[in-house]
Amino acid sequence: MTTYAAPPGQASGSTSSDPVPTATATPTPPALPAHLAGATADEATLRRFLSGLPAVDPVGLEQRSATLATRSIKKASKLAAIDLAISMVDLTTLEGADTPGKVRNLSRKALAPDPGGPSTGSGNVCPRVAAVCVYPDRVATAADALAGSGVKVASVATAFPSGRSSLEVKLADTRLAIESGADEIDMVIDRGAFLAGQYGLVLEQIRAVKAECEGRARLKVILETGELATYDNVRRACWIALLGGGDFLKTSTGKVNPAATLPIVQVLLQAVRDWRDQTGQQVAVKPAGGIRTTKDAVRHLVAVNEVAGPEWLDPHWFRFGASSLLDDLVLQRRAQLDGHYADPDTVALD
């Protein structure tokens, strides 16, 4: 039996919100190459693996981000880029005041982001978004509104946004969302455990949630990068999520600043690129929080193409967690088609 020991500085008998997990508690992810499978043998081995990851060069990372931010695309390609970005949006509402009516209205917007725009017969109809993201108790409403449309229902889970609860509560949260009709689960990692050096605990919780999702929903692992302090920590969290079987790496809850910055997104893109190189498995990326304009979205698409590769330029492999972004994309789309900016009052702004 493999047991994850307490991290340095914490006695093995100390208490926490969850017991120290064992490898027999949850299923292991799909078979990995030997050097990666062995990395999770025990806490000490996992810590050595994570410590051995190449250090992030912050100066080089931020300089490249500044360069990427200056890139532009040709006018002829801009409409295609806007349409691609719209099709990648996870249209989100995560507020205490979310009512069934608000979720139904959001779902209608997901299906027709620009209802006053070009008609279907024009060939320039606005694409639908990728998903609608809500709390677990609003999943059934979204699933009913989106049934048969192809737009996915995503749900946050695992004591979002803090992640501060027992594993049992987190799994119940996940089950509620899936049984209510969620196609995708956006879980949060336990940042307190991560920052305390309890990497094995973080890994096992991801594996446990993945087991709940297996065959029923794709799993997005929210790192909450704004709380991880360093780029090296973000890289380590990425690899824990990958080793745990995450289907997406997601930057943030949108409740903490900074959220999805271009340097942070680059770190995630590098991780999934390297993961595919080593395993042959492609994993998606979702920046969330702080991406509000078409210019921001296009910069991220350029980064996706240049850092991970063109294979990720697809809604299955890259998403934007956003609400206000869609409004600006629709306005810019109208400008491309009409040759002038539309009156914002003619667009269904939130």
The 3-state secondary structure of the chain, one letter per residue: CCECCCCCCCCCCCCCCCCCCECCCCCCCCCCCHHHHHHHCCHHHHHHHHHCCCCCCHHHHHHHHHHHHHCCCCHHHHHHHHHHHHHCEEEECCCCCCCHHHHHHHHHHHHCCCCCCCCHHHCCCCCCCCEEEECHHHHHHHHHHHCCCCCEEEEEECCCCCCCCCHHHHHHHHHHHHHCCCCEEEEECCHHHHHCCCHHHHHHHHHHHHHHHCCCCEEEEECCHHHCCCHHHHHHHHHHHHHCCCCEEECCCCCCCCCCCHHHHHHHHHHHHHHHHHHCCCCEEECECCCCCHHHHHHHHHHHHHHHCHHHCCCCCECEEECHHHHHHHHHHHHHHHCCCCCHHHCCCC
Residue 295 falls in the annotated catalytic set: no
Q: Which of 152, 286, 296, 328 is catalytic?
A: 286
Q: Which of 90, 183, 186, 190 is catalytic?
A: 186
Residue 250 falls in the annotated catalytic set: yes
Residue 186 falls in the annotated catalytic set: yes
Q: Which of 109, 250, 327, 328 is catalytic?
A: 250
Catalytic residues: 186, 250, 286
